């Protein structure tokens, strides 16, 4: 995979929380996960899904920085570009 898209992330968000995942739109990319009704445990689960899907490791420090969907997309795409 050369790029991790909004649709890729949305699929993972829906897998983690079917109800909250449906509330995320491209307009809400900068909203904190908490405002989108994802708690810290859900964010860890999001990171786990990404790791499994892409075969990459995400350090705990990076998970802490992934506070919004956009931050998650940016982090994953930076990692993909570095490979």
**Span 20-60, pLDDT tens digits:** 666 889 999 999 999 999 999 999 999 999 999 999 999 99
List alpha helices for 1-83, DSSP H. 6-16, 18-21, 40-54, 60-65, 69-82
Name residue, tokens 């993909």.
Answer: 80
Structure tokens at 23: 């509330």
Residue 68 DSSP label = S
- Is residue 13 within 8 Å of residue 38, measured between CB atoms? yes
pLDDT at 18: 76
pLDDT at 23: 80
pLDDT at 73 over 80: yes
The pTM score is 0.91
Q: What CATH code would you report for 6-82?
A: 1.10.1200.10
Q: List, for residues 7-19, the tens digit of each pLDDT value.
A: 999 999 999 987 6
| CA pair distance 73, 76, nearest whole angstrom | 5
């Amino acid at each position: 995979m050369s790029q991790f898209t909004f649709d890729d992330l949305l699929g993972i968000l829906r897998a983690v929380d079917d109800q909250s995942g449906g509330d995320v739109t491209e307009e809400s990319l900068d909203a904190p996960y908490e405002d989108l009704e994802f708690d810290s445990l859900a964010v860890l689960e999001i990171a786990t899904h990404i790791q499994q899907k892409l075969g990459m490791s995400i350090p705990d420090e990076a998970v802490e920085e992934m506070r919004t969907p956009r931050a998650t997309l940016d982090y994953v795409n930076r990692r993909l570009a570095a490979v």
